[in-house]
Structure 1
Amino acid sequence: MSTTSSAVISGGASGLGEATARRLSADGWHVTILDRDGDRARSLAGELNGAAIELDVTDADAVDAAVAAVVADGHTVRLAVSCAGIGPPERLLSKRGPHKTESFAAILHVNLFGTFNVLRAAAVAMAENEPDEHGQRGVIVNTASIAAYDGQIGQIAYAASKGGIVGMTLPAARDLADKFIRVVTIAPGLFKTPLLASLPQAAQDALGASVPNPARLGDPAEYAALVAHIESNVMLNGEVIRLDGALRMAPR
């Protein structure tokens, strides 16, 4: 890996994205954190001697400009990881009435369109790279969820958005094969992200106990370790990898 090789991580200021930024920085990558929480992103980037760009991943022009700025700053973008996402629950039909179309669209815009925006911008940058020793120009890692397969009650929008990411994976890999750019998606189960970490310990323990083995919440560092492996293993392409301890979620 060249000393100027850079990893771009959306949603990189917290949770899975933060763990990924820390792991890649420790492995010698220059990391650029894209996040709407600019203060947190800048603080982490300063700690990791990286860069931070405050943006909303639903803004395609902003994402294009951010990735282009990384290249203009002298870095070669060889890895892009999409971790930005939201998922407030809402049932298709409840006592409050039908699911709001606005909230459905908002979740799809952040999770699915945001992932597409990073995928698209990263591909543009990577296509200009010189092939590495494996003949590859870069790898793009998307984040879906096991909700794409096992969506629970109240997750219709979230499951749809993550299912869209799963569905993009193979055609994206095929589209970019002649550019020697790989595309892989991780579908995490229950991980100790800020959302779950904010729950009472008893609730966290109960959720962890639902995982067959190991019977605990996933550590974001384990997600980051898989990102690092995907980057190094050039035969991983066009695949969705469940990272869930064999969990299959119940309806609720």
Structure 2
Amino acid sequence: MKRVAICLLLGGLIVWGGGIGAVGSTESMGSLKLGAQLYDNWLKMTGKTVEGNHPAYPAEAKKSGSSTWRCKECHGWDYIGKDGRYASGSHYTGIKGLYDVRTRSGQDLQQAIAATGTLHDFTEYLTLEEIVSLVRFINEGLIDISVALNADGTARGDAEAGKQLYAANCADCHGADGNAIDFKGDKDGVQGVGYLAVDNPQESLHKIRWGHPGSDMPSLIADVGLDDAAAINILSYSQTLP
């Protein structure tokens, strides 16, 4: 049985120790899903509002406002920040990702997220449960993007196996062709599953694995019980859709 982090709140400090329950337990998977969706868009998840740019967001970077407060905006959908998809372009910040720190202790990660008085202090915005869930996601929910994607962004899965999984888990909402939901309805043409899977496979894989904040989209890892190989297969098939 793999050990998972648990915590106690003592005098405002989170004390981490050995855990209870298997990683696949309902409680653990729910916490992982919450952490993954907070990483995606904690503002939507919590209903909190912010003003201006995040204080740690580089002045020379190109984004502004609430988007600069999202974890993914600096650390990337691929969890490797400046060394991945965000190595250049409008999302470039020069900030490192989180994949290389995933083995650090829960206490260390908690201090990085919620160190009072630092530029990265989120205690004003996130509850203890949310901070713990983010830490658990960093410790246990990240994926080595090089295992999932080739350098050109094509998924390294089995599209034929993914076709069956897509039909069983995705087609009811997204349609057989992936275009039942238009992600960019204000632009010409439909931008559905196939478009997003090719245009941003890193984001697509994160959402296949963990769902979309504030929606009914399930996490195929936490809610359905599929594994990462299945998620990559779904992404491979999704890239074949129009």
Scaled by the length of structure 2, the TM-score of the pair is 0.31
Scaled by the length of structure 1, the TM-score of the pair is 0.30
Greater per-residue strand proportion: 1
